[in-house]
Amino acid sequence: MSFASPLFLWFFMPATLLAYWALPRRHRNAVVAAASLLFYTWGAGPHTPQLLSAIAVNYGAGLVLGSTRLRDRPRARRGVLLATAGWNLAMLAVWKYAGFATEQIDALTGALGLGDSPIVSLALPIGISFFTFHHLSYVVDVYRGSTPAQRSFVRFVTYIAMFPQLIAGPIVRYHEIAGQLGDTRRDRLGDLAAGFPRFALGLAKKVIVADSLASVVDAAFAHAGGPITTATAWLGASAYALQIYFDFSGYSDMAVGLGLMFGFRLPENFDRPYSAYSVTDFWRRWHVSLSRWFRDYVYLPLGGNRGGAAKTYRNLLIIFVLCGFWHGADWTFLVWGLYHGALLVAERLLGWDRPPGTAWALALRRGMTLLLVVVGWVFFRAESMTGAWGMLHAMVIWQPGELDEFAAFAAGHQRMIIFALALVVVALPASSPALGPLIQADQGPAAVRLARAAVTWVAAPYAAVLVAAGTFSPFLYYQF
């Protein structure tokens, strides 16, 4: 069930909100947990047992790790942690990567003349990458003693399956939310009033901006494997950069808003990433909850930057290859991860991970960073490496001609206006006089406050009309 669907907006949400506010406070976690399982079952159907079994295994492991019997037995605790983490990663490996791995083996045996080998084809359980990372966060936090094990099964299910973040994040580290799960004062009317405008903003970003650009992107990338003009390639790549930002940050706004409506403060996922002054800075601003997860549970345990320059560079490359592979089982995602890892290493070598001193240098670096990120998105979006190279070739080597026929058709006047406005909005830094007050809540002059209110009262109803008319598409991050 998508957040931007009639079923969710006008059937699931009213029913869940009514149940949440009608029942006594002590039952409200149970309402969220039950509604979340229904939400997942509606979308994932036969894959629901995988989520339930993962919940059962990790809940049990948490109790064992938190028990007093194991307090003085570090080896046993470590064994339980490794077994549970291994089980979680094995689930992810089988369901997400088995198909890719067997395809590579088949290609290898074919190249060596050893004949065909069987290829596994499994449907990906929706949200598995996200709930696996939540489970890993939980068992590691309990093992480290950062937070006690959760004894209430209902609260544990609420953490793992909470529908605002179940399918596509934000990735909530357990210690960030543990205190909120047991807070019976958390359901305040003020939260509901604060959550709705945020949800409305996200819906507008997704349905009005991201979905408008989808057809332009699809038309451009459809040509990526064959002859493509430079104009089409650049239009497709830059439109995709905007589409994925408005799609995913819109989803995250909706998730944070929904969380607030049910009394939870979920972590922010975006901080104006396209105004970053370096790729290092970009990763402090893009999908922040994923970056923090990798930092806390992989980068720092690997040694972080404590073992000298060479080890730091190695750790950065490992993190970004894993990050790419986490997004999808394909060479395109691996290359995308490696590309970003290599850029981070290069920035450290050149000292470009720190902000430049002058205003013009800052503007130049922002432009360069945006360019590098847009180039990276080509790998992320392309269906294959051949398609990605074709697109990049056309972007770098001049291919004469105007927009291809389909791209020109898709890029109508209305979409081009949205494209231009979106580009201006995302590329301006938050500190700019024009934009700063607009994006910082409860600040700025009356006119700016009015503009924010317009999102709630005009953009959200318009987005709702588009949803009701059936003109939206699923969130991009649902596929991960």
Binding site for another protein (CB under 8 A): 1-2, 5-7, 9-11, 13-14, 17, 42-45, 126, 144-147, 167, 175, 178-180, 183, 185-186, 188-197, 200, 260-261, 263-265, 442, 456-457, 460-461, 464, 468-474, 478-479
CB of 394 to another protein, least distance (A): 29
Q: How far apart are CA 98 and CA 88, in angstroms?
A: 15
Cβ neighbours of residue 99 under 8 Å, at least 6 residues apart?
A: 119, 120, 121, 122, 329
Residue 185: C-alpha distances to residues 13, 19, 189, 311, 444 (Å): 22, 17, 11, 46, 31
* Minimum CB distance to another protein smaller for 63 or for 427: 63
For 321, the 3-state DSSP assignment is helix
Nearest to 51 by CA among 125, 124, 123, 137: 125
CB of 191 to another protein, least distance (A): 5
What are the backbone dihedrals phi and psi of residue 417, each rounded to the nearest 5 degrees, phi first? Answer: -65, -45
CB of 42 to another protein, least distance (A): 6
CB of 149 to another protein, least distance (A): 12
* Minimum CB distance to another protein smaller for 111 or for 189: 189
Contact yes or no for 437/445 (Cβ under 8 A): yes
Cβ neighbourhood burial of 154 (10 Å; 0-12, 13-18, 19+): middle
* Minimum CB distance to another protein smaller for 45 or for 110: 45
* Minimum CB distance to another protein smaller for 124 or for 237: 124
Contact yes or no for 293/137 (Cβ under 8 A): yes
Contact yes or no for 99/329 (Cβ under 8 A): yes
* Minimum CB distance to another protein smaller for 346 or for 468: 468
**DSSP code at position 463:** H
State whether the Cα torsion 173-176-177-182 is positive or negative: positive
CB of 219 to another protein, least distance (A): 15
Catalytic residue among 47, 327, 340, 393: 327
* Minimum CB distance to another protein smaller for 7 or for 396: 7
* Minimum CB distance to another protein smaller for 397 or for 447: 447
For 142, the 3-state DSSP assignment is helix
CB of 212 to another protein, least distance (A): 14
Q: How many CA atoms lie within 13 A of 150 on its CB side?
A: 27
Contact yes or no for 273/241 (Cβ under 8 A): no
* Minimum CB distance to another protein smaller for 186 or for 365: 186
CB of 194 to another protein, least distance (A): 3
Residue 23: C-alpha distances to residues 17, 163, 258 (Å): 10, 19, 18
Contact yes or no for 221/381 (Cβ under 8 A): yes
CB burial string 85-97: b at 16+ within 10 A, e below: bebbeebbeebbb
Element housing 450 (H / E): helix 446-454
Query: Active site includes 327?
Result: yes
Packed helices 331-350 and 359-381: angle between N→C axes, nearest 10 degrees = 160
The two three-digit tokens of residue 289, written as one number: 């909850």
* Minimum CB distance to another protein smaller for 357 or for 470: 470
The letter for the amino acid at 307 is: G
CB of 363 to another protein, least distance (A): 34
- Altogether, the residues listed in the chain come to a count of 480
Contact yes or no for 162/37 (Cβ under 8 A): no
CB of 468 to another protein, least distance (A): 7
**DSSP code at position 402:** S
Positions marked active-site: 327
